[in-house]
A and B are shown apart, each in its own frame.
Chain A
């Protein structure tokens, strides 16, 4: 069925990459800041992937690869640490005796 395939394509188009943040049009200050951070994080990952691919085919020099991987490592560590903090705070609230 033709209609099904076009619907599926629409669904795929609607599904953003998992690391991409939602576009913030009228959010608060903190929301915009967090969206910026998430966008930067996604860009860092994307850049690292591209550089790694280029290095595998011999287009990028090893220095660029090492720099991109170090940046990505730090970005992921930052994201993981922030996530851990947020989850910890949430669990703290859950454990609160009411």
Chain B
């Protein structure tokens, strides 16, 4: 496989990984009010094929944010203890929005690389056509 084809494959893997990351961010935001929910973080890892790194990336297994869950005071809540507190989720909207924006920018960067590789291949073929 030529270098440009490998560029296409690497960019596509990057876009796929960023899409997985955005999915986890959306799951975090959807569960922002779920009691006891721990936010998911997406680790990225280089793909290894037959013992050799391929340069492609993928989203690894989900990890949970182990930081302490905030104690929310709401005596009327069904899960509240004797003191009227229950454990909320440790999702911070600002962090999630920043993460989503980062995923978007990274996706755009991969998209640009994909387009660049395609344009370079097409220009090379145009040279042959003259």
Contacts and interface: CB of A to CB of B under 8 A. Distances in A.
A63 B19 CA distance: 10
A63 B12 contact: yes
Interface in A11-56: none
Given A63-B19, A70-B118, A71-B5, A81 B125 contact: yes
Nearest to A40: B1
Interface string B1-36: 000110011001101100100000000000000000
> What does DSSP make chain A's interface, helix, strand, loop or mixed?
helix
Interface string B96-107: 000000000000
Contact of B118 (A74, A82, A84): A74
Contacts of B129: 81, 84
A74 B121 contact: yes
Interface residues of B, number: 16
Given A70-B114, A70-B118, A77 B125 contact: yes
B16 A81 contact: no
B64 to A, nearest CB: 24
Contacts of B12: 63-64, 66-67
Among A67, A81, A85, max chain B CB count under 10 A is at A67
Contact of B16 (A61, A74, A77): A61
Contacts of B125: 74, 77-78, 81
Interface of B: 4-5, 8-9, 12-13, 15-16, 19, 114, 118, 121-122, 125, 128-129
19 contacts: A61-B16, A63-B12, A63-B13, A63-B16, A64-B16, A66-B12, A67-B9, A67-B12, A70-B8, A70-B114, A70-B118, A71-B8, A74-B4, A74-B121, A74-B122, A74-B125, A77-B122, A78-B125, A81-B128
Q: Which 9 A-B residue pairings sit nearest by Cβ, starting from the closest? A: A67-B12, A63-B16, A63-B12, A74-B121, A81-B128, A63-B15, A81-B125, A77-B125, A67-B8
